[in-house]
A and B are shown apart, each in its own frame.
Chain A
Amino acid sequence: MNRMFLLILAFGLLAALSVSAITAEEIVKNVERNEINEEERIDGSMIISDRFGSRVKTFISYAAGADKMLLEFTNPEERGQKILRLEDEIYLYFPEAEEVIHLQGSALKESVMGSDFSYEDMTGEGDLLDQYEVTLLGEETIEGRKHYHLELKAKKRGLAYPKQEAWIDAETWVMTRANAYSLSGRLLKEMELGDIRVVAGKYVPHYIIMRDAMKKKSSTEMRIQAIDLVAELPPDIFSLEELTW
């Protein structure tokens, strides 16, 4: 009887060891390594659905690392409008405006093109591990695949989301689901990623569905039509001077 008890205990310890074989910090680093590219160009679209129906906005986006991003809308209604992100700063360019708009404060919480994404969602949160206390809550199987379930708690005030939950595919290091909460624990946003394809040796989700829990009957699907991870981007593309050209 005692031998049986020891055996069960040993198996239990082994199981516990296998869970903690990888730390939450390592998982986050793997996600960032897969997610962040030195240079990329994406041709994409946003399908925004709400009580008034669905609308499609198309765009081309360029990114370099985690801090620089330029998005230019190509659909007829907003053709030529650009959003530039430089670290945590957001700048907007409108062809009919004579100045570049530097978004600040509460304006960052505004939705991008009436979608479920806010400008704040587009700003870099820098190194996730610098900003959040990360805890591995366990492993879960989602659609037959092993996932790590992480909890991220903000280390400082002023971040867009004080608390987040994320589910990371244990094989591809792609975050396939994430929920963002307010300080009081109220659900703010739900995100779902899928259609994961291998591009230049990296796992790239080709759609993101974002739901703003504050909006009724609203969701935004962002789709990648084409992606180039070895694009050679023009020099100074991520500058305020280039933005107005």
Chain B
Amino acid sequence: MKLARIAFRNIRRNRRRTLLSGTAIMIATMFITFAFSLIAGMLGDIESNIVRYVSGHVRIRHMEYDENEELNPLHLSVTEYEEVVREMEADEEVMAAVPRTRFFTAIYRNDRTYGGMGLGVDFEREKNVMKIQDAIEQGRLPQKGQKEMVLSAGLAEELDLEVGEKLTLLTKNKYLGMSGMTFTVTGIVRFLVAGFNESFFLMPIDTTARFLKMSDEATEVLVMLNDSKRVDEFAEKATGILTAMDRDNLSAQPWTSIGASVGWMQLARSAYDVIALVFFILASTVIVNTTMMVIFERMREIGTVAAMGMTPREIVRLFFIEAFYIGAIAAFIGVLLGIGITIPLSKVGIDLTQSMQGVDLEINPVVYPRLNIRSTVFVFFYSTIIASLASFIPSRRAAKIEPVEALRSV
């Protein structure tokens, strides 16, 4: 108790020193808090984009589609997809259910052929899922039943094509024969995800079916849930619904078990773990360095208290308590500042368009940091503990020096 009082008096006595040490800890803590929120925002973005653009929370496909996916097996489809979509939409857990048909195609233009990835969609239903209407840069969305399409901005640029122009697509149809059709480009879309801007185009799902000779078939039905944490439970429930519908040839998969999606998330997590580790090491170095320097500067003081009869053990404890007080207060302020920066930026976002150029990740160029309570609390305790522990090394060393020697040092 006595040591705690002395420690507190020491902190107050040399305000400049305390301020210097505390500011370093505070800035480092604020930096980690914000960096963690930024990483959480980026990971959240990737997850949201994978779900919206690629897999849904739960994806329904023909049982054999996945193993033949690279062959674009349009005959392994979800037949009478409307029935499946309606059954899914009827469930209270479901936010939206959308049919989609994916197909590879050759784009023929000015005697040259280009590769492209087509997506037949129900534009009305996609309003709450892919939100294509928000991505329109020029023109309008295609109309149902019309031979119309919207092109991703990158593809439009590559093809040197503008709204109102026509282009002809060649592709393998459901019967593995060829199909060719000419479409009018009604709009150009710029998706937030860089990968989707390079070779994607979208057209009405009924026109796609006509083009690919697929009648009322889609390659998949994606289900979006109100509660994204219930994907596994709902996948099981969806399997039950499909069985009840006598559609045993279809399988419902949660997005977390879809190879490509999981791969993306693992890759992103690994990349961000490395970044987080670098931030951690940097911040920890600042805290440890400052704490140690401050104690090494106080050799004469240590010599004085030792000459007055304080035992080495008490000296170590005294400096530990001092570092703990400064660490805890500075880390608390640092966390508060980190939260203070994160909250407004989580609303307006950070525009990384320039630095994201050429990066083919499923991530939006505008990143919205997300505050994570668990990691914020962790950062507070981490900074406090690191600052306290950092005091051990110099104070133990100083405590072992004879008081006379300690008094001689400056």
Min Cβ gap A76→B in Å is 9
Please name all residues of chain A whose beta carbon is closer than 8 Å to the beta carbon of B317 when the two chains form the complex: none
Contact check, B180 vs A97: say whether CB atoms are below 8 A apart: yes
| B177 contacts partner chain A, Cβ-Cβ < 8 Å | yes
| A239 contacts partner chain B, Cβ-Cβ < 8 Å | no
Contact check, A98 vs B182: say whether CB atoms are below 8 A apart: yes
Please name all residues of chain B whose beta carbon is closer than 8 Å to the beta carbon of A48 when the two chains form the complex: 176
Q: Interface size of A by Cβ–Cβ distance < 8 Å?
A: 25
| Stretch touching chain A among B21-29, B106-114, B270-278, B337-345 | B106-114
**A177-221 to B contact mask, C-beta < 8 Å, 1/0:** 000000000000000000000000000000000000000000000
| B55 contacts partner chain A, Cβ-Cβ < 8 Å | no
A107 to B68, CA, bound (A): 23
| A23 contacts partner chain B, Cβ-Cβ < 8 Å | no
Please name all residues of chain B whose beta carbon is closer than 8 Å to the beta carbon of A55 when the two chains form the complex: 175-177
| A92 contacts partner chain B, Cβ-Cβ < 8 Å | yes
Contact check, B176 vs A97: say whether CB atoms are below 8 A apart: no
Min Cβ gap A120→B in Å is 15
Report the contact-size class of chain B (Cβ under 8 Å from the partner): 20 to 34
Contact check, A113 vs B181: say whether CB atoms are below 8 A apart: no
Among residues of B, the one whose C-beta sits closest to the C-beta of A53 is B75
A77-B213, A114-B172 given; A99·B182 CB < 8 A: yes
Query: What is the total of A-B residue contacts with beta carbons within 8 Å?
Result: 69
Contact check, B166 vs A98: say whether CB atoms are below 8 A apart: yes
Contact check, B182 vs A52: say whether CB atoms are below 8 A apart: no
Min Cβ gap A59→B in Å is 11
Contact check, A101 vs B73: say whether CB atoms are below 8 A apart: no
Contact check, B181 vs A97: say whether CB atoms are below 8 A apart: yes
The A-contacting residues of B in range 159-179, CB under 8 angstroms, are 166, 168, 170, 172-179
Please name all residues of chain A whose beta carbon is closer than 8 Å to the beta carbon of B213 when the two chains form the complex: 77
Among residues of B, the one whose C-beta sits closest to the C-beta of A96 is B181
Contact check, A52 vs B75: say whether CB atoms are below 8 A apart: yes
Please name all residues of chain B whose beta carbon is closer than 8 Å to the beta carbon of A75 when the two chains form the complex: 177
The A-contacting residues of B in range 185-232, CB under 8 angstroms, are 211, 213
The B-contacting residues of A in range 78-110, CB under 8 angstroms, are 78, 81, 92, 94, 96-99, 101-102, 104-105, 107
Please name all residues of chain A whose beta carbon is closer than 8 Å to the beta carbon of B181 when the two chains form the complex: 94, 96-97
Among residues of B, the one whose C-beta sits closest to the C-beta of A105 is B113
The one of A50, A51, A96 in contact with B180, judged by C-beta atoms closer than 8 angstroms, is: A96
A97 to B168, CA, bound (A): 6
- Please provide the 7 A-B residue pairs with the shortest distance between their CB atoms, ordered closest to farther: A94-B180, A114-B176, A98-B182, A97-B180, A96-B181, A77-B175, A113-B177
Q: Which residues of A contact B (CB under 8 A)?
A: 48, 50-52, 55, 57, 73, 75, 77-78, 81, 92, 94, 96-99, 101-102, 104-105, 107, 112-114
Q: List 18 A-B contacts (CB under 8 A).
A: A52-B75, A55-B176, A78-B173, A78-B175, A81-B177, A81-B178, A94-B170, A94-B179, A94-B181, A96-B211, A99-B108, A99-B168, A104-B113, A105-B113, A107-B106, A112-B178, A114-B176, A114-B177
